[in-house]
């Protein structure tokens, strides 16, 4: 039987967890599905990551309403991917915040990314009929911005490229808690298809330099305490490096994409095959690593057609 492409065969609902990572700071996680974060201020609430559809966003809202009735005033989107942003309308927030670079990527490739991700992971797009269209920010920033939720200071920053060119992190200094988006993962594969392998390690160093006491990662369980934070950062680093190095070696000797796939699997399968969405991410990760190793500096746009052509090439 032919293997299902990406996560087309993943139909099982995931168990939701809602974990406090600091005072009035929460991580909404779901066994490797995209996470969201909740930051409660004096008078209002900030959401980090909007989920793929309003249906999924309402699951986040339900959890928020279990702990506070304060209005949701801000939604921060760490990058442009459809599974992170298309549920934003459900929050009815006054401000939707992205970096300037992330907004540019919505303009450049937002529709193509939506079409591609919809094909890759149908379960995450249940209720897609309620998506009003692409999510555009009301507010953007270059480098950094600060939001005050009453007396609570929230810093939104770009500290380096990793998962995408427009990645942002959200830092809450009063609790030393960071929301990293997909720069850091917990026992989940990193999706590197739009990433920058050469920059990712330095960006992880920049995360670590904040000395976060807890992290709400992009996928996987909340990271509470320095030990959990440090372990996840180093495992993320190992995943990225272990993906890129064998592929780069193949590219250096003018091997094929299929050769690179085989070499990557040989290194990564023993270490990461039980990670969430590992099989989903692997073909895209190999394709991007192969491009980067051959000097293609910026990720090419994924389309539904390119996805399938790549998959056919890897299946031989």
Average of pLDDT values for 108-120? 95
User: How would DSSP label each residue in 110-135?
Assistant: HHHHHHHHHHH-GGGGTTGGG--S--
CB–CB of 28/219 below 8 Å?
no
181 bridge partner residues: 217
Cα dihedral 84, 177, 62, 70 sign: negative
- pLDDT tens digits along 47-76: 999 999 999 999 999 999 999 999 999 999
How far is 39 from 47, CA to CA, in rounded Å? 6
Mean pLDDT (whole number) for 245-268:
97
Segment 197-213 shows an average pLDDT of 98
User: For residue 284, what are the CA distances in angstroms to 4, 146, 252?
Assistant: 15, 34, 19
Of 1-10, 19-28, 49-58, 169-178, least confident by mean pLDDT is 1-10
The residue written with tokens 């450049």 in the block is: 108
With the C-alpha atoms ordered 107, 159, 216, 196, is the resulting torsion angle positive or negative?
Answer: positive
pLDDT of residue 1 exceeding 70, the answer is no
Count H helices and E strands in the chain, helices first.
8, 13
The pTM score is 0.96
Per residue in 116-141, pLDDT tens?
999 998 999 989 999 999 999 999 99
**Which tokens sit at 233?**
């950062």
Confidence check: pLDDT of 150 > 70: yes
Task: Band the pLDDT of 314: cuts 50, 70, 90.
Answer: confident
Q: What is the mean pLDDT of residues 282-298?
A: 97
Given CA atoms 63, 88, 171, 40 in this order, what sign does their dihedral have?
negative
Kindly report the average pLDDT of the chain as a whole number: 96
Give the pLDDT of residue 13.
85
Q: Give the bridge partners for 148, in sequence order.
A: 153
pLDDT category at 104 given cuts 50, 70, 90 is: very high
C-alpha atoms less than 13 angstroms from C-alpha of 188 in its C-beta half-sphere: 25
Do 29 and 63 touch, CB atoms closer than 8 A?
no
């Amino acid at each position: 039987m032919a293997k299902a492409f990406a996560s087309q065969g993943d139909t099982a609902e995931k168990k939701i967890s809602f974990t406090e990572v600091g005072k009035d700071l929460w991580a909404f996680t779901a066994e490797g599905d995209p996470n969201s974060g909740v930051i409660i201020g004096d008078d209002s609430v900030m959401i980090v990551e909007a989920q793929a559809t309003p249906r999924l966003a309402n699951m986040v809202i339900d959890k928020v309403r279990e702990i506070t009735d304060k209005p949701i005033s801000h939604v921060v989107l760490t990058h442009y991917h459809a599974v992170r942003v298309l549920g934003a309308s459900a929050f009815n927030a006054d401000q939707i915040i992205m970096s300037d670079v992330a907004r540019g990527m919505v303009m450049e490739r937002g529709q193509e990314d939506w079409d591609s991700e919809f094909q890759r992971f149908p379960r995450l797009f249940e209720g897609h009929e309620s998506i009003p269209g692409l999510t555009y920010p009301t507010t953007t920033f270059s480098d950094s911005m600060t939001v005050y939720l009453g007396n609570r200071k929230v810093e939104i920053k770009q500290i380096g490229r990793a998962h995408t060119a427009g990645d942002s992190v959200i830092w809450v200094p009063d609790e030393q808690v960071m929301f990293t988006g997909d720069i850091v993962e917990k026992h989940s594969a990193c999706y590197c298809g739009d990433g920058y392998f050469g920059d990712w390690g330095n960006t992880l160093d920049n995360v670590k330099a904040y000395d976060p006491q807890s992290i709400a990662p992009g996928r996987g369980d909340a990271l509470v305490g320095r030990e959990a934070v440090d372990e996840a950062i180093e495992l993320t680093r190992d995943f990225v490096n272990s993906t890129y190095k064998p592929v780069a070696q193949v590219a250096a000797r003018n091997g094929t994409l299929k050769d690179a796939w085989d070499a990557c699997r040989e290194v990564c399968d023993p270490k990461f095959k039980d990670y969430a969405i590992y099989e989903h991410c692997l073909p895209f990760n190999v394709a991007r690593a192969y491009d980067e190793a051959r000097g293609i500096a910026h990720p090419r746009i994924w389309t539904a057609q390119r996805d399938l052509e790549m998959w056919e090439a890897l299946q031989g």
